[in-house]
Amino acid sequence: MIVITAPEQMHEWLHSYRGGKSIGFVPTMGALHAGHEVLLQQAQHENDITVLSIFVNPTQFNVQSDFEAYPRTTERDLRIAEHHDVDVVYMPETDRMYPEGWRIFIEPGTAADPLEGLGRPGHFRGVATIVTKLFNTVQPTRAYFGKKDYQQLAVIRQMVSELNFDISVVGVETVRHDDGLAMSSRNIRLSDVQRSTAPVIHQALVSAKNLVDAGETSPDVVINTMTSRLAAADGCRIEYIEIVRQTDLQTISTINCPSVICIAVWFDEVRLIDNIEIEPPQR
Ligand code: AMP
């Protein structure tokens, strides 16, 4: 008989007992683009089996019209999945995920509070709930999330740790268009003019990083510089620009630890987010 007293030991024992194949899992809402494809490639490279899920999750949308407007391109997505040798595409029906009478939600941890959490109440509750349901169903060894949704990655990491999921969460670098705009399923909703302006988001983030690399330690100075630049960009409305600690996403008063600049802007009805990691200036 074996007595186990810690969750990670229990996980280790189960691994060796089962001796099974590793499963790499990429959860998405479909409308696949090159950003998703990089997640699939990494999952494929690091695991025996790759599972892709496609599910447009109603509980993470604050606005019904945004949920309805979300692009759905299933045929094309399946071709892309096939191209990447995905073993299983999991596409559950909405009423199987949220059947009549269903009411249990996962309440996310502190990482969900700032940034997106302020402007999109309930968003991460919906994310934590659907990811838990997907994790319970797919039972992956590793799950792949993009750093483009930096806070989402932090919320999932915290949830996996606090709820003792036996899953490694892998963060993948943001994939960008040649002009720097982060790939996003929402980009196709930009007009031609908005699309040509939108790279200013990444340009402002890179300039801010350069400012910090050159010795600036004041978040206010960095944020003000970015604000001026984006305010001058036609049709771009800033929702927030924040500099937070990488570890727990708490606001900082001076840039003296690994941090991340997070930004959310609007072009008319289209909301875009992006971020860049920064290190404190070398002394
Ligand atoms: P979504 O379908 O938008 O929910 O995204 C599914 C996954 O793809 C999430 O983990 C996202 O962070 C990730 N993702 C979306 N866009 C990108 C990108 N441009 N680069 C890397 N990962 C991305």
**172 C-alpha vs ligand 1 centroid, how far in Å?**
9
SS3 49: strand
**272 C-alpha vs ligand 1 centroid, how far in Å?**
12
Number of neighbours of residue 69 by Cβ within 10 angstroms: 13
**280 C-alpha vs ligand 1 centroid, how far in Å?**
27
- Does 282 score more than 80 pLDDT? no
Indicate which residues carry an active-site annotation. Answer: 36
Which residue, judged by its Cα, is nearest atom 18 of ligand 1? 35
In contact, 28 and 52? CB cutoff 8 Å: yes
The encoded tokens of residue 31 equal: 């409308």
Average pLDDT on 239-252 reads 96
**36 C-alpha vs ligand 1 centroid, how far in Å?**
6
The residue with tokens 């003296």 is 256
Which residue, judged by its Cα, is nearest atom 11 of ligand 1? 146
Decide if 2-172 and 185-274 have a common fold: no
Residue 152 CA: nearest ligand 1 atom is 12
Task: State residue 58's pLDDT score.
Answer: 97
Average pLDDT on 11-31 reads 91
In terms of Cα–Cα distance, which of 92, 118, 85 is closest to 29? 92
Mutate to test the pocket of ligand 1, among 25, 28, 36 (most ligand atoms within 8 A of CB): 36
Number of neighbours of residue 102 by Cβ within 10 angstroms: 11
Residue 31 CA: nearest ligand 1 atom is 2
The residue with tokens 């943001």 is 174
pLDDT in tens, 187-223: 999 999 999 999 999 999 999 999 999 999 999 999 9
In contact, 174 and 36? CB cutoff 8 Å: no
The model's pTM is: 0.95
Tell me the CATH number for domain 2-172: 3.40.50.620
Task: State residue 80's pLDDT score.
Answer: 98
pLDDT in tens, 112-171: 999 999 999 999 999 999 999 999 999 999 999 999 999 999 999 999 999 999 999 999
Residue 39 CA: nearest ligand 1 atom is 22
* Domain residue spans of the chain: 2-172, 185-274
**66 C-alpha vs ligand 1 centroid, how far in Å?**
17
- Does 179 score more than 80 pLDDT? yes
Please report which confidence band the pLDDT of residue 283 belongs to, taking 50, 70 and 90 as the band edges: low
**CATH number, domain 185-274, options 1.10.10.10, 3.30.70.3340, 3.30.1300.10, 3.30.1240.10:** 3.30.1300.10
Of the chain, the percentage scoring pLDDT greater than 70 comes to 100
Average pLDDT on 223-238 reads 97
- Does 18 score more than 90 pLDDT? no
pLDDT in tens, 249-269: 999 999 999 999 999 999 999
pLDDT in tens, 79-117: 999 999 999 999 999 999 999 999 999 999 999 999 999
Residues within 6 Å of ligand 1 by CB: 28-29, 35-36, 38-39, 145-146, 148-149, 172, 174-175, 182-185
